[in-house]
Each structure stands twice: as structure tokens, then as C-alpha cells.
Amino acid sequence: MEELAMRWKKLSLSEAEGKKCDLSKDKQSQEHVLAAKFFTRRMVNVEAVARTFRLIWRTKRNFKVSMASENILLITFELEIDVEKVLQGEPWVFDRHLVVLQQYDGSLPVQELSFDRTSFWVQIHNLPFTLLTVEAAISLGETLGVVSKPRDTSKMKGGNFMRVRVAVDVLKPLCRDRVITWDG
């Protein structure tokens, strides 16, 4: 160990090699990126994806689509508000296959991202009238995954049913039923 420490002390850089290079935050990209995994066996056509989603998403500013890995694309937006709009519209499909989106900051290789969750609006039917409440819908939704409560809870009421937005693990099979108990 001492020998290694001695060798380390002898290492030095020439004047040219020792010049510092500043790569602080202000020099990093200010773009907003979503990584998108397409759950299909076929290769995804980047141009077809860009054309299709440009029509569907109707973003305020432009976005670019590039291939990152097999069936994983990076979608670079000019505005953060466009990213949020796209994420709020989940789930997305392309050519009848699920597309799982994830915000991407570039700190990890895309192959290490876990594309395991996407948000769905889940409808809850056949509840007694007294349980058609936001609190009951959230409790039931939490048995499925992570619930995101909307700012306007009136979106959760649907007449004789409730709806809740849940981030569901798409790698696990869906549950068919839930056992529910309530007083009386």
C-alpha cells in the first residue's frame, strides 16, 4: 500500500495537461428530455414516432426524437411545460403497443433506466353511494400503485363511479379484484 502511495505522489501533469476545464451547471444542456420505451418486438421507426406524436401531443414548441437504444428513444423538448403536458396525458401507445415515458436527466445510461411504471386513470365501480368520496377512491387506488391526486378533485367523480390516477407497475399482471371492507 505504501508503494502505491509513493507512486501516486510521483505522478504529475505537465503545464498543458494541468489546465482546468470548467464544466459547471451553466454549460450543461438546458433541454427537457423524456426517455420513451416502446414495448414491442419490432424496431421502432424514429421518423414515424416523431410524425405521429407531433400530431397527437400538439406541443407549444418543437421537440426532437432520437434513437438511444433498441426501442428506447429520447425525446428532447424545448419547453418544460410540454414535457408536463405529455406526462399528464399518459398512458401513450404507438402502433397498439404501450409506450412508457420517464424524465431523463442524462446522469445514467438509458439501458439502466427502469421503464416499469406508467400512469392510468382507473375507474372504481359498484361502490355504495356513501363511499363515492375522494378519500375512498385514493385508498382504493393506493392498493394498485402510487396515486397522484389532481389539483381539481372534481375530475375524480364520474356520476356513479370514481376515478383515480395511479402509477401502475406495467411489468406485473393486473389484479382482477380487491376485497373491500367498511363499517356495517
Residue 61: give its domain's CATH number. Answer: 3.30.70.330
Domain that includes residue 85, residue range = 30-115
Q: Is residue 2 in some structural domain?
A: no
Q: Is residue 156 in some structural domain?
A: yes
Q: Alpha helix (H) ranges present in 24-152? A: 46-57, 80-88, 134-142
**Residue, of 172 and 14, whose pLDDT is higher:** 172
What single-letter DSSP state applies at residue 107? S
- Number of domains within the chain: 2
Q: Is residue 22 in some structural domain?
A: no
Residues 6+ apart with CB under 8 A from 163: 121, 122, 123, 124, 137, 155, 156, 157
Do residue 96 and residue 129 come from a single domain?
no
Do residue 89 and residue 164 come from a single domain?
no
Q: What is the per-residue pLDDT across 102-137, written as a single tens digit (0 to 9) for each?
A: 999 888 888 899 999 999 999 999 888 888 899 999
Q: What are phi and psi of 103, to 5 degrees?
A: -65, 140
For the whole model, what pTM was predicted? 0.74
Do residue 45 and residue 94 come from a single domain?
yes
Do residue 109 and residue 128 come from a single domain?
no
Q: What percent of the chain has pLDDT over 70?
A: 91
Do residue 74 and residue 126 come from a single domain?
no
